[in-house]
Amino acid sequence: MNCIIIDDEATARAIINQLCSTVDSLNVLEEFPSAIHAIKYLNQNDVDLIFLDIHMPDFTGFDFIETIKNPPKIILTTSDSNFAIQAFEYDCIVDYLVKPITPERFKKAIQKAEAVASSPKKVKKPEDDVETSSGNDLYVNIDRRLIKIDIPSIYLVEAKGDYIQIKTETKNYTVHSTLKKIEEKLPDSLFLKIHRSYIINVDKIIDIEDNSVLIKKDVIPVSRSNRPELMKRLNLL
């Protein structure tokens, strides 16, 4: 597998590179001290696996994942164990290594990555669809019933593990789906993803303060990578 290493610490990059050299199936193409440099590289080159640090100046590992389209398999490498649960919200992340990384633990992570690479892709069946849209309506499949939701009435969509919660003016709906899937169904003119776990109806914003927005009684965080697009959408005086 062709791979790259992204870590702001030179020593950490050297250690991961050394660990990679012990695995015949790994080929390290490049090392990067920042996610920004790696994004430029990925725009022109394909890789199979990324070793990615979480805590980096200005641009975190999670910011990086949200920025790139169709990310390859990723193994997170970090000295912070507090983000393990959050990390596995991303389908592209195959393992979470806490520094210092032992050779045994490293090899297990590579085995996971290779298993994911060799597993057949799931064929999507019609019954997997939980939303279909028509005009200003969104249909969600709940208990084998198609429930119609008026799209403009939606003010917030929140990811909750394998489910999403759709909040409307009158009722909330919990649906077995992903944030990415419903994002594709909602009109860009009204809705914006402002965080890896939240999509908001921009017209429903009441207040913005620092890195959060207030919609109804919900205070929603805004990620640094999504804040510029949010500010563009506002009619600022």
pLDDT attached to residue 237? 59
Which phi and psi angles does 105 have, rounded to 5°?
A: -70, -35
Residue 213, strand partner residues: 208, 220
How is residue 40 written in tokens? 């430029």
pLDDT attached to residue 210? 80
This prediction's pTM = 0.54
pLDDT in tens, 189-216: 899 999 999 999 999 999 998 889 999 8
The fold for domain 126-233 equals: OB fold (Dihydrolipoamide Acetyltransferase, E2P) (2.40.50)
Residue 145 has pLDDT above 90, yes or no: no
Q: How confident is the model at residue 63 (pLDDT cuts 50, 70, 90)?
A: confident
Q: Do domains 2-118 and 126-233 have the same CATH topology?
A: no
Could you tell me which CATH class the domain 2-118 is placed in?
Answer: alpha beta
Residue 75 has pLDDT above 90, yes or no: yes
Contacting residues for 32 by C-beta, under 8 A, at least 6 apart:
4, 5, 6, 7, 38, 41
Evaluate whether 200 touches 213 at the Cβ level (below 8 Å): yes
Domain boundaries of the chain, sorted by first residue: 2-118, 126-233
pLDDT in tens, 9-24: 999 999 999 999 999 9
**Percent of the chain residues past pLDDT 70, beyond the cut:** 92
What's the mean pLDDT in 115-120? 74
Cα–Cα distance between 133 and 153 in angstroms, integer? 14
Evaluate whether 197 touches 158 at the Cβ level (below 8 Å): yes
The sign of the torsion formed by the CA atoms of 69, 121, 129, 162 equals negative
Q: Of all helices (H) and strands (E), which one includes residue 117? A: helix 103-118
pLDDT attached to residue 47? 96
